[in-house]
Structure 1
Amino acid sequence: MRELWNKLGLEGKRALIVHHDDLGLSQAQNRAYRELGFPTGSVVMMGCCVEGLSGSDLGVHLALTSGQDSLELRPLSAGRSLRDPQGHLWSTVEAAWRHIKPAEAEAELRAQIEAGLQAFDLTHIDSHMGALLRPDLAGIYLELAREYRLPALVPANLETVSLPPGFFSALQNLRDNSALPQVTVVDGYGVPPQERQEWYLQTLSRLGPGVYQLIHHAATDEPEGRLLEDWPGRKADLEALKDAEVRRVIAEFEPLTWRVVREAWREML
């Protein structure tokens, strides 16, 4: 993908997509998105709280899992393998990988993309909780990206992702032969909330030339937001990204959006 980054004038520069995950999951998530006001890429979970969301750089956060038992998210399609005994999306990636059938996953991913196309001018797609990293599901994901001409998040640093034995080589082969834009993912989700601000400062300051996607899950601190099991980390993301010093460090990067990537990539197809 060096040709694409050169086309965008990013050779030797530090470029950053500030990426808000899980929009639509709650209004607390959506309010944080509006409060932060970053113009770069964000992803929306279709079938959730999407009313009132707008922006020039919105993608679909393709979900085959909920991540939390309390969320009770339901698929948009009829596939039985997508559902737990209560009819909701599987709460964990491991459970989803044990049960989901590829054909039913493809129908669900299509339904979510089509819903996104009805709601927004989609700029990209990615995977909620990395559930699409099962190699057969990843193949469907990348094929849909080509079919819909939408860039799909493909981590250049796939080796940093925790994967079951046998997954890495298959995924690496898919990634290296996908002809899709690849960015280096930077994600502090596992960093303790009290250390989140310092993590942003130290991690971003140390990055060299390259194209990066900073993933965050900022949500406002309010009763609805606190219903999420991981709300302290989401609150910490919001506080860190509002900090003047963190924003100064972010401003040192060349800002990049998935819309810009999408248009340049489509010209190369």
Structure 2
Amino acid sequence: MNRDIRLLVRADDAGSSWSSTMGCLRACTEGIARSVEVMMPCAWVPHAALTLNDRPEIDVGIHLTLTSEWDAVKWRPLTQAKSLTDPAGCFLPLLRPRDGDGRPSLSEVEWSLEEVAAELRAQIALGVAMFPNASHVSCHMAAHFRAFDARLGDVIADLCREFGLKDDAFGHGLPRFAGYPKFPRETERRVDAFLRALDGLEEGTHVFIDHPAMASPELSMTGHDGYEDVAKDRVTCLETLTTPAIRERIAQLGITLISYRDL
């Protein structure tokens, strides 16, 4: 086909666990993902660097993080950002309140713009130091933090110019390709939905974002009230992105897989 369709498949949350880093790697090396987002405040970032830096063809993004959403797995700011944390020193679970979710959010506290700016700078500085192939930044749990507060858009834009990174195109209006619905979390159903969605993809550049991961005891403990099946969700995501039928359909349709570097 001669249609000009480009698809950016982005694998999020590398560095947050062994499972997520290895899932992101496999989604690239065995599947259709081309960009991997790394969460710099998380414990498994050194492992992510050892894993991804050996693969210079994989595009890396610094996944700016201001929240810590899981109950049994937590991360803290890289800086002394007391206005962003709970009494234990961890990021709060949410950016904004959610219906039916009583956990605290950043929007409900008196957070400091200066502390946020310092934290984002620290994450980006560490990211470019640890990941020479980093090309861009993205935002965790948000299309872009400027939607949370417009001032953060200016902070991030200034930091990207300073560190030579691109700002996330998804946050700047790149249309999102749904791929498959959240439910059911079954690989066969997700593959079928993804194939149908590919058939209907229109000309232009689109982004698909999800969180591939490999099964592990650690992943099985990841979740929170209302989202207890994180492991099933993320393992079936990986299985879907690495399914040969999807790669074959992309080739048949003449869809070009790209990374952020190609934008």
Bin of the TM-score, shorter chain as denominator length: 0.7 to 0.9
Instruction: Flag structure 1 segments of 5+ consecutive residues without an equivalent.
Output: 1-10, 157-174, 176-181, 262-269
Paired-residue identity, %: 29
Length-normalised TM-score, structure 1: 0.77
Number of positions where the alignment pairs a residue of Structure 1 with one of Structure 2: 227
- Bigger helix share: 1
After superposition, the C-alpha distances for 1:206-258 in whole angstroms (9 at most, x for unaligned) are 11111111112011122122122222110110111121222223343112122
Aligned position for 1:210: 204
Partners of 1:20 and 1:253 lie apart in 2 by 18
- Provide the rounded CA distance (Å) in 1 between the counterparts of 2:140 and 2:23: 19
Q: Which residue of 2 aligns with 1:139?
A: 154
CA contact (8 A) 1:197 1:236 kept: no
Give the aligned partner of residue 11 of structure 2.
Answer: 20
Deviation above 3 Å: which 4+ runs of structure 1?
A: 187-190
After TM superposition, list the pairs within 5 Å mapping 1:47-58 onto structure 2: 47-48=41-42, 49-50=44-45, 51=47, 52-54=50-52, 55-56=55-56, 57-58=59-60
Tell me, in whole angstroms, the C-alpha distance in 1 between the residues paired with 2:131 and 2:123: 12
**Per-residue deviation, residues 137-194 of structure 1 (Å, max 9, x unmatched):** 23322332233231111437xxxxxxxxxxxxxxxxxx5xxxxxx5222356861112
* TM-score, normalised relative to structure 2: 0.79
Asked if structure 1 preserves the Cα contact closer than 8 Å seen for 2:179 and 2:198, the reply is: no
Of residues 222, 226, 229, the one that matches 2:220 is 226
Alignment of 1:178-217 (within 5 A): 182-187=173-178, 191-192=182-183, 193-194=185-186, 195-217=189-211
| 2-structure distance, mates of 1:228, 1:21 | 15
Residue 94 of structure 2 aligns with an amino acid whose one-letter code is: T
Find the counterpart in structure 2 of residue 5 from structure 1: none
Instruction: Output the amino acid matched with 2:68.
Output: S
Report if the CA contact (8 A) 1:191-1:199 is conserved.
no
Deviates more, 1:222-231 or 1:17-26: 222-231
Structure 1 pair 64–196 and aligned structure 2 pair: CA distance change class (3 A): same
Distance 2:232 2:94 in 1: 20
Change beyond 3 A, Cα 1:39–1:199: closer
State the superposition RMSD in angstroms: 2.2
Residues 104-183 of structure 1 aligned to structure 2 (within 5 Å): 104-121=115-132, 122-130=134-142, 132=145, 133-134=147-148, 135-155=150-170, 175=172, 182-183=173-174
Aligned partners of 1:23, 1:103: CA distance in 2, in Å?
27
How many angstroms does 1:205 deviate by?
Answer: 2.2
Unaligned runs of 5+ in 2: 97-104, 224-229
Larger displacement relative to structure 2 (51-60 or 15-24):
51-60
* 8 Å CA contact 1:188, 1:216 repeated in 2: no
Name the amino acid aligned to 1:151. K
**Cα displacement string for residues 19-61 of structure 1 (whole angstroms, at most 9, x for unaligned residues):** 1100011101112223231561111011321222313311111
